[in-house]
Amino acid sequence: MKDATRVALVLDAGGARSAYQVGALEVLLPALAERSGRPSLLVGTSAGALLTGALSATAHLVPDDQIARLNSMLGQTTKQNVMRPLWRQVPEVLVRYTSETLGLSSFRLRGLFGSQPLAQTLATSIDWEALHRNVEDGVIESAAVTATSVRTGRVIVFTESSSSVPRSAPEYHGRFVATRLGVPHLMASAAIPVLFPSVHIDEPAEAAGWYVDGATRRRAPLAPALELGADRVVVVGTGGLRPPDADLGLDRVAVDLGDGGATLLGAVMDDPLRHDLRRLAEINALTEDPELAPILERHRAARGRSAYRTVPYIAIAPDDGEELARTAMHVFRANHGSLLRTLGDPDLQVMHRLLGSDSPLQGELLSYLLFDPDFFAAASAFGRRDAQRWVEQHPDLWRTEAQNH
């Protein structure tokens, strides 16, 4: 008999850092299958949306086979299978930029790096018919990916589900849209603004338009899973669970374009998840307080909302948010720093120089774009380590209270 407890798996944004999530899932998926039941609600944003697609298509497999498929997909997402070589697209970028400068709207520049290879990779590496079949057969209840509308800034949760999708949720500036998921939905969710082209989605017609990365405007990464009815939430992120230690001396170091980019990515990729986990723990504490819980329930009822409930969670993310950045910098220097390597593949070196190669935050920026097997291996090992630590510290896997850092 199927467990009535709905477990949601939330995979947040991270670019190339998603290898960390794959490593964590190697530990979590077997542990969940053995102790608590496998996730039936899958929610992904940006790179997490790509993993959500792969996991939804393999949900009918045993965890070991599911992990093997996930690692196979990760192995295919190297740079040549994600973005076009920079030298091949420079002429097009220049022409499109000139067109916009002259006010010619029919030939717009929508991103610096062409992402056509990623679309081809997703089309062949994900078994889309298996994904649809798993939803239809009830192996999973819902697969959802988050994207951001370019013009209106709405957060749209494209959801393939065996049941009706929830109503709009204005508290997190978004709404659910029922659809049959495909490559465009995942591409839209992962289209980091400026770096990658915005993506046009045609279906469903009610949500047709141009979209970019789902992390751009979402403020509550856990909200879609809770709105879908999750009783328990497993979240795997790639940003630090605690803010970096304050180093006032760094504030006096001159900054450049790369620093601005790294700061922006950190703000949209890391901070919302950290804050949302803290909020979930605070609400759990209120619902478990016998004096405060009735007051809170009346307050929610007066607003026409259902009562808050205690939601146990698993949260895996780097404790040291700079570990991945340091590793990315090390791998970059080892694999892309020499003249010979630069001549063979100049893209990362050129980007590194353009964005300020001596920046203290350069590793942070590179860690989102370093689609390198060595970086994948290191990041995946970090994910396995952190997930294993959680499993060892939480014998029944779950907790409700805030984490101490």
Angle at 53 between CA 160 and CA 219, to 5 degrees: 75
Q: Which two tokens stand for residue 43?
A: 């929610």
- 46 catalytic per annotation: yes
Distances (CA, A) of 117 to 113, 121, 211, 299: 11, 6, 18, 51
CA–CA separation, 72 and 74 (whole Å):
5
- Which positions ≥6 away from 19 have C-beta within 8 Å? 74, 375, 376, 377, 379, 380, 383
Strands (E), 25-141: 41-45
Q: Tell me how far apart the alpha carbons of residues 319 and 325 are, in angstroms, rounded to a whole number.
A: 13
User: 323-336 and 373-393 are packed helices; what angle lies between their axes, rounded to 10 degrees?
Assistant: 160
Cβ atoms of 171 and 220 closer than 8 Å = yes
Ramachandran quadrant class, 150 (left: phi over 0; alpha: psi -120 to 50; beta: rest): alpha
Name residues whose C-beta falls within 8 Å of residue 46's C-beta, 6 or more positions apart in sequence: 12, 13, 14, 15, 189, 190, 192, 213, 214, 215, 269
Task: Give backbone dihedrals phi and psi of 343, rounded to 5 degrees, phi first.
Answer: -65, -35
Please name the residues in contact with 143: beta carbons below 8 A apart, sequence gap of 6 or more: 42, 52, 53, 56, 131, 135, 159, 160, 161, 181
Number of residues assigned to the chain: 405
Q: How far is CA 338 from CA 290, 325, 395, in A?
A: 64, 20, 47
Identified catalytic residue from 36, 46, 142, 198: 46
CA dist 165 and 303 (Å) reads 21
Q: Could you write out the DSSP letters of every residue in 299-318?
A: HHHHTT-PPP----EEEE--
Phi-psi region of 65 (alpha: psi -120 to 50; beta: other; left: phi over 0): alpha
Does residue 256 carry a catalytic annotation?
Answer: no
The first and second tokens of residue 45, run together, are 């944003």
d(CA 224, CA 107) in angstroms, rounded, equals: 36
Candidates 142, 189, 213, 276; catalytic one = 213
| Residues annotated as part of the active site | 46, 213
